[in-house]
Every structure is written in structure tokens, then in C-alpha cells.
A and B are shown apart, each in its own frame.
Chain A
Amino acid sequence: AAGVIQSPRHLIKEKRETATLKCYPIPRHDTVYWYQQGPGQDPQFLISFYEKMQSDKGSIPDRFSAQQFSDYHSELNMSSLELGDSALYFCASSFLIVGLSGELFFGEGSRLTVL
């Protein structure tokens, strides 16, 4: 079965550079989530989209922005990168039906290293 696809899997950037992460959700899933996980930390919710509209916002820095496109893929744009942005970035997708499972399906993550 198709899973959530994230690219790139690994990314190395210098401070103050810009990075873009991409996420392709499971076909027919209408909701996409982005999480950031630092070393030894729990995943921190950044932002979510439902049907291409932003639905919830978490601890996403102002330097970061995200959007969901007409084909449901999503991109997380990170500018003015800082050392502390080094982390695993996860995308997850789900099919949101009121009253049914809220299970999220996660990709394998994109590891960003900022030097």
C-alpha cells in the first residue's frame, strides 16, 4: 500500500540558508500534518492542513511557512536557518471523517542538519 512520501530524506544546509521539504500524502487523504523532532525529543506539532486550507497551527516559527497544493502534496519552507532547526521533520496524513479514526500515517521523515 502507498505510504506517505517525504523528500529529501537528508538535507544539509548552512546557517541563514533556506530549505524546502516536500510531502506526498497517502492518496485520498485530505489532511496533512507537519512535526519537528529534535534529538531525544518528542515530536512537536508545527502546522496542519485540511483540504488545502490551514486548519491548526502549533509552535511553528515565523521563519517557516507551509502550504498544501491542489494535488494535496505539501511543502514546508524554512528560511534564515539556525543551528537549532537541525531536526527530523515528519509529515503525516489522515482521512478526516467526523466520528471515525483519527489515526495519522507518518512518513519516514526528512533529516535537516544546519551547519
Chain B
Amino acid sequence: SQQGEEDPQALSIQEGENATMNCSYKTSINNLQWYRQNSGRGLVHLILIRSNEREKHSGRLRVTLDTSKKSSSLLITASRAADTASYFCATMEYGNKLVFGAGTILRVKS
């Protein structure tokens, strides 16, 4: 990966459970974003958190950012089968470059 690691690499849960994915990065950032990708499809933006923010919510999504540890987490609550996808964190470095992490494959079983 150009940026860092995601943890776990794969996650399998039952519908209704919560899913937590973690991401670490290496450089100073302007903001950190989470994207979702269904197999072989384009990436869809989920949520953005700025470097001066610590937590952000959007619907069933909750993102935290710890710039001292260079890490972020994405929590999806009350998961649904339709949440099955790959999830990537990406850091916007100062300039104009969005760098992706390695991704977590989430499978939600109904």
C-alpha cells in the first residue's frame, strides 16, 4: 500500500451486528476519507474527517481520527447484507493527492 495498513483485512459478521475497521497512515494529512467499493465497481465516498476533528457521524457511520497515533476507525452500526463490500481509508495529503490504504473486505451474512 502507498499509505499504510487496514485492520482487519477481512471481516465477516451477522446482519444487525456492528463492524469496526481500522486504518493507519504514515504522513501528515489535511483530511482522511472512507470509501466503499463493491466488487469490480467504482469507489463511493462515505465520509470525510478533517485533521482538526476527532469524531464524525453520518447515518449509521461513525469515524474517529487520532492524529497523534496516525490512525482512524470506521464503525458501521446495525449492519445490513447490502453493506457487504470493500472499505478503504484514504488520506488527503497537503497538495492534491488522495492516497488509499489496503482496504477491509466486509461480509455481512443475512
**How far apart sit A101 and B33, CA to CA, in the bound complex (Å)?**
10
Alpha-carbon gap, A90 to B30, bound state (A):
22
Find A43's partner among B33, B41, B100 (CB 8 Å cutoff).
B100
Chain A residue total in the interface (Cβ 8 A): 28
B-side binding surface: helix, strand, loop or mixed? strand
Interface residues on B, range: 20 to 34
Given A58-B2, A103-B33, are A109 and B42 neighbors across the interface (CB < 8 Å)? yes
User: Between A and B, how many residue pairs show CB distances below 8 Å?
Assistant: 65
A31 contact set on B, CB distance < 8 A: 96
**Cβ contact within 8 Å between A55 and B2:** no
Say yes or no: is B95 at the interface (Cβ < 8 Å to chain A): yes
In the complex, A88 has a CB within 8 A of chain B: yes
A45-B99 in contact (CB<8A): yes
A109 touches B48 (CB 8 A): no
The reply to whether the CB of B40 lies closer than 8 angstroms to some CB of chain A is yes
Q: Is B1 an interface residue (CB 8 A)?
A: yes
Which residues of B in the span 10-68 have a Cβ within 8 Å of any Cβ on A? 30-31, 33, 35, 40-45, 48
A114 touches B (CB below 8 Å)? no
Closest Cβ of chain A: how far from B108's Cβ, in Å? 20
Is B102 in contact with chain A by the CB < 8 A criterion? yes
Residues on B with beta carbons closer than 8 Å to the beta carbon of A111: 40
Contact between chains at A56 and B96 (CB < 8 Å): yes
Tell me, yes or no, whether A71 is within 8 Å of chain B by CB: no
Q: In the complex where A43-B88, A58-B2 touch, is A106 in contact with B42 (Cβ < 8 A)? A: yes
Q: List 9 A-B contacts (CB under 8 A).
A: A33-B98, A45-B2, A58-B2, A102-B30, A102-B98, A103-B48, A104-B33, A107-B42, A108-B41
Name the 8 nearest CB pairs between A and B, nearest first: A106-B42, A56-B97, A55-B96, A106-B43, A42-B100, A102-B92, A108-B42, A103-B45
